[in-house]
Structure 1
């Protein structure tokens, strides 16, 4: 536990060091992500840095988070520390949505709070002013649509998820299941439209790339005729070498579409995996745009301006045919 606390403190220190000089009168607009070890969130950081050059004088975009995406308690502690320290506004990507909601309910912050990338649960969304990021249910729908097109007769499938309490990932899984089943409210596929989730799935990676690859390997060893994986987040592909080693063992099945992989996110290593035939579809979010737009939304809230309840940043749908042109410029 002490080691985890030290890692979180180190992450905060490093974030402060890289945030650039701040004046005492600066209003800090803080972005708190699930973990600094995830390359997806590094694009949010880059967006924050670009926004910094364009914000009004007197505002500072500050990016932080726990060292590891598995440190849910560390993220909650960082939010609490920011509330105690006093910042102008906070944008949170909650790793554990109920835990973050509990903190906000207890602290009753007077500053504007928004969510970014991941939202609070519906019953807790009154605790934040707005959300900016992906329509996560729609992302899951798109993954399901592509899988149906590739496997119109259905088959056996395994969903790969992140943290159990990550609301955004659970929303994607719901979108995928509803799309494959042809009806809403399906908690697990049990033969609807020919789709069956295998025993032992879904997999919960806890946002750990190495764990995700090992779990997929174990599933494939035990289920040699598996028809499809749906990765509701790109975690295994965030470790490109390990993912390549895994897919090398099944590359003939993948390229012949016997084993289909539809995957969320479109980071550079993921697009490369797509081009190499190690996945069939990548449905991407736009984390840079999230990180860029969030400071301006927080600035408006601090200044008392009206903001929309939701800002969706859109999706990119990438296939081998359009891999060179599918990403938004």
Structure 2
């Protein structure tokens, strides 16, 4: 792959002391995310920077990077490849295409510690990493389903909006949602279980792109006037607040009356604002800042041969009309 297509890496090096320079012999702890265009991952970057600001005397530096676009699965694999060839002390990866990334890691067989954060490898490939740091994604789907069931106790028609087809974290959320709302395990599709039915053409796949996500929502609302629920398994559409406002303007009467409900993943500031404006009925949020802040310490533990729990979950923040909680404060 042409390296010019790969995003320029962004070193998470904060100004620790005015005019000071980072020692050249620092070892690198690399964090590779799905795409630098996603504001969710910028929170991971901020966590990385916070760690740097608090560890000026550390022998390690934190490197935050990823492809320019979240849809560039091959670009992410290439970045990981380049980092491993260049030499880093440890690496934390949020794989966009879990099988493709695992295949490359298996082929390279790095001797340094490899961990995942935010998104994991598929179960059959988890021997390739030491631990996973991030959300319990199946539980996140469970919580979304619980909110939908409270708002629509008799069920209804539903459309799920997902990200990349091969993203393990997103697929785990969708599975948690379907299993919980259907009341049984390993449900491939909702076909009337407990009154819930997925409409034709859904689930939708956004490739983690906000513009695609909003266009998909608009098209679904137009074509399905009787839709009961739209579930943003990830927050992509809400990451473009102006476009999301325009899309939800089409159905605000239905949202206000709860004829149509929207449950969305994540609680970044544009999303909590949308929630407060009544453009969603519940937000189930992850903690990406914590992921970026904790990842360097976990990698150092792995480098030192210390025992680390697997997985390491970072928790969820849930906002509803009855308990705005986290969303009211942001």
TM-score by length of 1: 0.95
How big is the shift at 1:309? 1.4
C-alpha distance in 2, partners of 1:154/1:59? 52
Q: Which residue of 2 aligns with 1:301?
A: 302
1:40 aligns with 2:40: yes
How big is the shift at 1:249? 1.0
Q: Give the alignment of 1:193-212 within 5 angstroms.
A: 193-212=194-213
How big is the shift at 1:24? 2.8
C-alpha distance in 2, partners of 1:219/1:195? 17
The 8 Å contact of residues 14 and 52 in structure 2, kept in 1 or not, is answered as no
C-alpha distance in 2, partners of 1:39/1:326? 17
Q: Give the alignment of 1:180-199 within 5 angstroms.
A: 180-199=181-200
CA spacing shift, 1:325–1:76, aligned 2, 3 Å: closer
C-alpha distance in 1, partners of 2:328/2:108? 40
Q: Give the alignment of 1:167-178 within 5 angstroms.
A: 167-178=168-179
C-alpha distance in 1, partners of 2:53/2:273? 31
The 8 Å contact of residues 316 and 328 in structure 1, kept in 2 or not, is answered as no
CA spacing shift, 1:133–1:209, aligned 2, 3 Å: same
How big is the shift at 1:323? 2.8
How big is the shift at 1:326? 5.1
Q: Give the alignment of 1:14-93 within 5 angstroms.
A: 15-16=10-11, 21-55=21-55, 57-93=58-94
Q: Give the alignment of 1:153-302 within 5 angstroms.
A: 153-302=154-303
CA spacing shift, 1:206–1:109, aligned 2, 3 Å: same
What secondary structure sits across from 2:54 in the alignment? coil
Q: Which runs of 5+ in 1 are unaligned?
A: none
State how many pairs are aligned: 324
C-alpha distance in 1, partners of 2:310/2:90? 16
CA spacing shift, 1:54–1:304, aligned 2, 3 Å: farther
What secondary structure sits across from 1:53 in the alignment? helix
Deviates more, 1:298-307 or 1:64-73: 298-307
What secondary structure sits across from 1:57 in the alignment? coil
Compute the RMSD of aligned alpha carbons.
Answer: 1.7
How big is the shift at 1:122? 0.3
C-alpha distance in 1, partners of 2:23/2:83? 17
Deviates more, 1:48-57 or 1:92-101: 48-57
C-alpha distance in 1, partners of 2:238/2:11? 29
How big is the shift at 1:264? 0.5
Q: Which residue of 1 aligns with 2:4?
A: 6
C-alpha distance in 1, partners of 2:5/2:13? 16
Measured against aligned partners, the alpha-carbon deviations of 1:132-180 in whole angstroms (never above 9, x if no partner) come to 0000000000000000000000000000000000000000000000011
Deviates more, 1:247-256 or 1:298-307: 298-307
The 8 Å contact of residues 271 and 323 in structure 1, kept in 2 or not, is answered as no
C-alpha distance in 2, partners of 1:121/1:327? 36
C-alpha distance in 2, partners of 1:301/1:211? 39
Q: Which runs of 5+ in 2 are unaligned?
A: 16-20
CA spacing shift, 1:326–1:249, aligned 2, 3 Å: closer
How big is the shift at 1:23? 2.5
